[in-house]
Amino acid sequence: MGKSTRHYKIIVKGKVQGVSYRFSIHAKALKLGLTGLVKNLHDGSVYIEAEGDEEKINKLIEWCYVGPPHAKVTEVFAEESELKNYGNFEIKR
């Protein structure tokens, strides 16, 4: 990763659990060459940390508003954060 590597924390709210959201984000992040993690939160939202090229992270964030077919996204919060240098993109339980 070069000097343009960024780290974003993203929270997606709405009907985003039980609709393969985490698996879809995982596939999208891998396709974009991003690293980080995705997990469900107790409040029903999905939490994502993504690292990589800012343009690719922006594509991931745009996709977050749509999600997989059965998702109904109501809000997406994204903020830049400190790099953690993830080695891959993981789905956390």
Active site (annotated) includes residue 6: no
Query: pLDDT band at 4, cuts 50/70/90?
Result: confident
**Residue-range definition of the domain harbouring residue 64:** 5-84
In a domain, 92, yes or no: no
Q: Which residues contact 32 (CB under 8 A, 6 or more apart)?
A: 52, 56, 59, 60
End-to-end CA distance of the chain: 27
pLDDT in tens, 17-70: 999 999 999 999 999 999 999 999 999 999 999 999 999 999 999 999 999 999
Establish if 90 belongs to a structural domain. Answer: no
- In this predicted structure, what is the pLDDT of residue 43? 98
Question: What total of structural domains would you count in the chain?
Answer: 1
- pLDDT recorded at residue 13: 98
| Active-site position among 40, 58, 85, 93 | 40
Q: What is the reported pLDDT for 1?
A: 43
Predicted TM-score (pTM) of this structure: 0.95
* Domain CATH for 16: 3.30.70.100
Determine the pLDDT at residue 3. 57
Catalytic residue at 40? Answer: yes
